[in-house]
Amino acid sequence: MNTLARLRADALACWSAALAAVEAAGLVGRHLARRNDALVLRTGAGTTVAEHRGPVVVVGGGKAAVAMARAAAGIVGDACTGGIVVAPHGAAGEGAVEVATGRHPLPDAAGVAATARLLATAAGADERTLVLALVSGGASALLVAPSGVTLDDKTEVTRRLLAVGADIAALNAVRKHCSLVKGGGLARAAARAAGLWTLVLSDVVGDDPATIGSGPTVADPTTFRDAESVVDRWLGDAAPGQVRQHLARGAAGAVAETVKPGDPVLARARTVVIGGNRDATEAAAGAAVGRGYAVETLAPLTGDAAAAGRAIAARLRAAPADRAVAIVAGGETTVRVEPGGRGGRAQHLALAAAVALAGVPAVVLAAGTDGVDGPTDAAGACVDGDTIARGRALDAERALRETDSHRFLAATGDLLVTGPTGTNVADVVVALRAAC
């Protein structure tokens, strides 16, 4: 096996270790258990957070919702009286918990209908019944209940914010304030229940439950004024008029705010983050150590994807030459999409790294743990020091300028295609360089 082939095999092994560490069903099983006749919610260290005896209804949404619901229903057992989770189109499930589907990343009418049934299910829980909510990345688009705007308005403002590279916190501040389910809206619906437990699989830097899935069961620290500021900063006059008018009415006090700390609807709510990007990157780093690499783990990645790719490549080139080195990172970068460009943030990062590492005995794997990178069929890409040479008939710099990484990487054979993974904890980057 030549050097690049060995580096690729090692990078893929690190990627597999990362996915295994955030497998949704296993994480649910660590935090939810049966003890005699009680259902127990616990921390990762095993400390009991809450107990419940009685019926349980399951609700939720996100890219990991089906796997989480299947695991949760198995643990709850006969106490499970049903429920509904919303997952991306193409997902399927069977058993006590219904699986409904919607579109991601832009919501659709199917998601609206499914969310209406989910809110009705939560609202129907009585004082004996626990509402068990399962939230993972993707829930912001899949749990959709427009308030003060139409679905078309909400879809368009989401599309425009994504196109200009707005980060997830900015995007969610707007979505929460145009919704009946986000920003604690699901908690309001479940106010009559015996309790509301939320298991959260994090896809955001910092693992803030108020940001993950737009925080449907927790207090929202943002306000209508914050949402207005996001629209002003990122869109200006390009913001849909109905959205701007709705946010202005809310900022003036004419529309009820999202749920805030201390709201009575949160009195019986308990939230546990069961896993996140750090778990994935730690597992990838551990796998690299086991394969003989000197490992550096970076702080979470944010900001421009191409800049992140170049920075990782520079660190790889600058590392001591007498040893095999690995740089592991995770997080969520952004891309300002140019018209006609096709790709995703992981592919864009990888292509930028490939340009900077041309001719170097190195590999960079960058991929979304959900198996989806932008509006493509790829999870990301695994590039190496020969990628640019393989693509010499194309123009890598032009592909970067035009945010058209997918076409270039498809031609060089560097796309990483996994299909949906059943989990979602943002992106993982594994960069390896052989000893020189």
DSSP 308-319: HHHHHHHHHHHS
Predicted local confidence at residue 351, as pLDDT: 98
Query: Measured on CA atoms in the order 58, 64, 67, 72, is the torsion positive or negative?
Result: negative
Q: Are strands 130-136 and 56-61 parallel, antiparallel or unpaired?
A: parallel
- Report pLDDT digits (tens) over 338-348: 999 999 999 99
- Report pLDDT digits (tens) over 5-31: 999 999 999 999 999 999 999 999 999
Longest Cα separation, the chain:
67
Predicted local confidence at residue 106, as pLDDT: 87
Beta carbons of 326 and 401 less than 8 angstroms apart: no
d(CA 155, CA 145): 12
Within its chain, how far is the Cα of 81 from the centroid? 28
Mean pLDDT for 206-223 is 96
Predicted local confidence at residue 165, as pLDDT: 87
Q: Are strands 195-201 and 269-275 parallel, antiparallel or unpaired?
A: parallel
Residues in the chain: 436
Work out the percent of the chain whose per-residue pLDDT is above 90.
Answer: 95
d(CA 309, CA 8): 17
d(CA 28, CA 145): 27
Q: Are strands 294-297 and 325-331 parallel, antiparallel or unpaired?
A: parallel
User: Strand order of the sheet with strand 130-136?
Assistant: 98-102, 80-88, 56-61, 130-136, 195-201, 269-275
Cα distances from 322 to residues 297, 317, 318, 325, 362, in angstroms, run 19, 12, 12, 9, 14
- Report pLDDT digits (tens) over 285-315: 999 999 999 999 999 999 999 999 999 999 9
DSSP H helices, 77-210, are 109-123, 139-142, 151-163, 168-176, 185-189
Predicted local confidence at residue 125, as pLDDT: 98
Beta carbons of 242 and 149 less than 8 angstroms apart: yes
d(CA 102, CA 88): 5
Predicted local confidence at residue 188, as pLDDT: 98
- Report pLDDT digits (tens) over 402-417: 999 999 999 999 999 9
**pLDDT tops 70 at residue 392:** yes
Domains and CATH numbers, the chain: 3-16+278-433 (3.40.1480.10), 27-145+180-222+258-275 (3.40.50.10180)
d(CA 1, CA 7): 10
Predicted local confidence at residue 163, as pLDDT: 86
**pLDDT tops 80 at residue 1:** no
Tokens of 40: 């127990």
DSSP element (H, E) containing 195: strand 195-201
- Report pLDDT digits (tens) over 228-245: 999 999 999 999 999 999
The one-letter amino acid at 198: T
**pLDDT tops 80 at residue 45:** yes
d(CA 159, CA 415): 25
DSSP 304: B
- Report pLDDT digits (tens) over 90-132: 998 888 999 999 999 889 999 999 999 999 999 999 999 999 9
Predicted local confidence at residue 162, as pLDDT: 86
Mean pLDDT for 161-176 is 90
DSSP H helices, 273-330, are 277-290, 305-318
Work out the percent of the chain whose per-residue pLDDT is above 70.
Answer: 100
Beta carbons of 202 and 63 less than 8 angstroms apart: no
- Report pLDDT digits (tens) over 310-357: 999 999 999 999 999 999 999 999 998 899 999 999 999 999 999 999
| Residue 195: strand pairing partners | 130
Average pLDDT, the chain: 96
Within its chain, how far is the Cα of 235 from the centroid? 23
Beta carbons of 332 and 204 less than 8 angstroms apart: yes
CB atoms within 10 A of CB 316: 22
CB atoms within 10 A of CB 422: 23
